[in-house]
A and B are shown apart, each in its own frame.
Chain A
């Protein structure tokens, strides 16, 4: 069954606060094979004008994904996660994420459509500090392959 387009415009409650640590940034930078000193060395980061080490730009996905879980796990929407692949991703950075940030994300359903038997779900996570400073807007399109066919049993 195709996903219900009535979910377009829905907003989910904010994700639990996530505290960004220097060690998590270092671990993530290592995992994406990026050796920039701005991710590892606070002095280098300060020399570049930041208060502490910054995170690689795609680290924002960590926050966006947690927020998306509210949509992905919404039984009323009924997304079959086993069939989901990532179709599109975009970030708009208001400022770099940095060590010491305590972040939360509010996820919005921007679009739902079915095409060629696949469901396309576009969600936008507005990531910011718990004090309300905007940090990043992360927009993701998730594709559930084959789930929009009539009569399909997931």
Chain B
């Protein structure tokens, strides 16, 4: 079911979620996306280029934030525009716990053209990892 424009009000909050990301998830995402930058699997390489440890693909974090929106909308094809800044890396330790990415969002505008603007936040270890994250969805 797709949410409709009439059901949405400015200030509405999207159901918050959290997603655990492990080294195994990064390997899986590398294969699926074709992004084989070694900063996403090699600790020694990551440290050599000045990172604290292996970090998650920024695009994986963006995908998780996008899913928050599409789960709420019901139809991912309703997302017409979305953007993020990658402000802080999601550091993924080599253990079973990995990193926990916490996602939330709210409606910040209901526009006359049938679009709704959402602002999104993604946090890891209590700190924001995305900046200026937003999505514009076109609702029936």
Contact = CB atoms under 8 A, between A and B. Distances in A.
Contacts of B67: 32-34, 56
A87 B86 contact: yes
B66 A88 contact: no
Contacts of B81: 90-93
The winner among A48, A57, A86, A87 for most chain B CB atoms within 10 A is A57
Contacts of B39: 85
- Indicate the member of A38, A62, A87, A89 with the most B CB atoms within 10 Å: A89
Interface residues of B, number: 37
A96 interface: yes
Given A50-B77, A82-B49, A34 B63 contact: yes
| 5 pairs of A and B residues whose beta carbons are closest in the complex | A90-B83, A31-B32, A32-B63, A96-B77, A86-B58
A145 B86 CA distance: 14
Interface of A: 24, 27-28, 30-34, 36, 38-39, 48, 50, 54, 56-58, 61-62, 65-66, 81-93, 95-96, 139, 145-146
A30 B63 CA distance: 11
A56 B39 CA distance: 24
A93 B80 contact: yes
A33 B19 contact: yes
A91 B83 contact: yes
